[in-house]
Structure 1
């Protein structure tokens, strides 16, 4: 028996290849369209998420802007508590309250702390003022009162820096020493008082008055005794007075009326007697 094999002709092979290629192309096209749809869905999903985020952010910002005045009003509260601290020996506390009250018209953040401190320190009896705000509604005021060290002529008192401040009633300070001098020289007069008075303290003495005359000559008083120092070498002349006090004056101090240290090589002493006396001593 004879078996024959037949091979498809060329046209058949081409048709077969064409059908196979068509099927593959349709599959590829279908896959591409599916991928496109999936990509499109992803894009819209991302856009939707971004839009939702923007919407949410806008809502948050809008709510914040809407609530900002309410929040600020809650933070910026009126002052309802004022604490005033310090020792008040001469300054009435009501004076401080009168200075503070006008500033309380402003709320917490707008209250002018520097302006209030300046207003307080312009009060004669206030040496230093410290003002601070304590949230939410408290104002703290700390006052350092002036410390009077001496009376100034007959119109005020001096602090330790020689600053003059006026008072209505000087009778309260009658126990303070009385200082004299030109108005602009008050700090210098105070400095001389502090220096010279320190030298006689070990003697158990204290100055009750000190001044500088128009001529520039210095003098001081210890009770009823007047001591003239002159223009220059005040510390050396005070040392001479201390030596004389130990040697001669201490035992007779109640009889001394005046001591004159203006001599170059001696001291003149006037006594509470009719004839008086002069004592000349070399350095």
Structure 2
């Protein structure tokens, strides 16, 4: 009490004693743990599902409609073939055979009768060189048959012949006409043999003869048989000059121009004759 009063008298504030202990920091107030917010529940996209469903149904309906339309178009009764025009039939190509080929194609109707398929089927008939097939709107099918015209018989097989273009074709052997010259040679040489046949015939024509059989062997050698049954061996070189020389001499050796005689023209200045009795005579 005495010391306090003394300080007041001197106009000074009483001093606080120095603190000797640190005050503990105040702990932060505890807060209750915060729970994680619950995951929000999204609604199902029913509109999107509806669009997918509607799209799938539309595609299915279109596919079914397309299939049904396709089936409907394939009905022969939709556009039947009411008129069938055929030209070029002959005793060798009977109309009944042509109709047999056309019947299944015509039954398909106008839209599905394929002209190219019909043409290939007709070409397979004997004696048919080519066929033209056309559809004429709205219900007509026209067929024009082009037959083969044989000019020679091809000795490569039974029933084979050659047309004017040198093409080999086949028919039943019983249908091969008589009186055709015979040709034989390498494959695909029909045109060459026809050309040579025409040359030989023009050379021997002054003798009143013609070639009834002509052959080219694998080595290019030529031989022929005339209509008097005389055989000529011509070789592979200087064939035309040799034949012309023989034609010039033939009137002088008529006694040798007998059926079965063979004349070898492969000589430069003459020819050899083999008679049917196997007697050989050299002529210069």
* Shorter-chain TM-score tier: 0.5 to 0.7
Q: What is the TM-score normalised by the length of structure 1?
A: 0.63
Alignment match, 1:208: 212
C-alpha change, 1:117 and 1:256, in structure 2 (3 Å) is closer
Alignment match, 1:132: 134
Alignment match, 2:198: 194
Shift of 1:180: 1.5
Alignment match, 2:40: none
C-alpha change, 1:139 and 1:206, in structure 2 (3 Å) is same
Q: What is the TM-score normalised by the length of structure 2?
A: 0.62
Q: Structure 2 CA distance, aligned partners of 1:86 and 1:219?
A: 38
C-alpha change, 1:250 and 1:92, in structure 2 (3 Å) is farther
Q: Structure 2 CA distance, aligned partners of 1:97 and 1:166?
A: 21
CA deviations on 1:238-273 (whole Å, 9 max, x unpaired) are 22232223x424576347712221112222233456
Q: Structure 2 CA distance, aligned partners of 1:159 and 1:129?
A: 16
Gap regions ≥5 residues in structure 2: 1-74
Alignment match, 2:240: 235
Q: Structure 2 CA distance, aligned partners of 1:151 and 1:221?
A: 14
C-alpha change, 1:102 and 1:234, in structure 2 (3 Å) is farther
Secondary structure in 2 matching 1:88: coil
Shift of 1:171: 6.6
Q: Structure 1 CA distance, aligned partners of 2:235 and 2:174?
A: 29
Shift of 1:219: 0.2
Shift of 1:167: 2.2
Alignment match, 1:105: 107
Q: Is 1:157 aligned with 2:157?
A: no
Secondary structure in 2 matching 1:149: strand
Secondary structure in 1 matching 2:195: helix
Q: Structure 2 CA distance, aligned partners of 1:89 and 1:278?
A: 52
Whether contact under 8 Å (2:122, 2:128) holds in the other structure is: yes
Whether contact under 8 Å (1:260, 1:268) holds in the other structure is: yes
Work out which of the two has the higher radius of gyration on C-alpha atoms and give 1 or 2: 2
CA deviations on 1:210-256 (whole Å, 9 max, x unpaired) are 112233311000132101111022222222232223x4245763477
Q: Is 1:182 aligned with 2:189?
A: no
Secondary structure in 1 matching 2:211: coil
C-alpha change, 1:121 and 1:172, in structure 2 (3 Å) is closer
Alignment match, 2:265: 261
Secondary structure in 2 matching 1:139: strand
Alignment match, 2:226: 222
Q: Structure 1 CA distance, aligned partners of 2:121 and 2:207?
A: 44
Which structure is higher in helix share?
A: 1
Secondary structure in 2 matching 1:142: strand
Q: How does 1:68-83 map to 2 (within 5 A)?
A: 77-83=79-85
C-alpha change, 1:234 and 1:98, in structure 2 (3 Å) is farther
Whether contact under 8 Å (2:134, 2:142) holds in the other structure is: yes
Q: Structure 2 CA distance, aligned partners of 1:125 and 1:204?
A: 33
